[in-house]
Amino acid sequence: MTEQVPKIKPLVWADHGNALNSVHNAKTPFGLINLHGYGDGAFLLIDPFDCDTTDFKSVSEAKAWCQSEYERRVRECLE
């Protein structure tokens, strides 16, 4: 019999700002994740994960990284 792994809900993002400066927030049990976007397309991650990877080329790239890191941390709690 195989063990079932719980499905992890995706992060829910609230997007604010304009084309020059944008902020994208997601609440997690670990804290609030903040992505700050700038007019040149760079995104800076300010998060509860204390990660070294903080520069992303797009908001979708940054959100994908956050989702992956969030899922990794949740699974770590389940082991």
Do 47 and 28 contact (CB within 8 A), yes or no?
no
Which of 1-5, 11-15, 63-67 bottoms out in mean pLDDT, i.e. has the lowest? 1-5
pLDDT tens, residue by residue, 17-40: 876 788 889 998 878 888 887 766
Closest CA to 65 of 50, 75, 54, 76: 54
Which residue ranges make up each domain of the chain?
Answer: 13-78
Q: Would you say how long the chain is, in residues?
A: 79
> What tokens appear for 8 in the block?
């992890």
Percentage of residues in the chain with pLDDT exceeding 90? 9
The pTM of this model reads: 0.76
* pLDDT at site 72: 87
In this prediction, residue 13 carries a pLDDT of 94
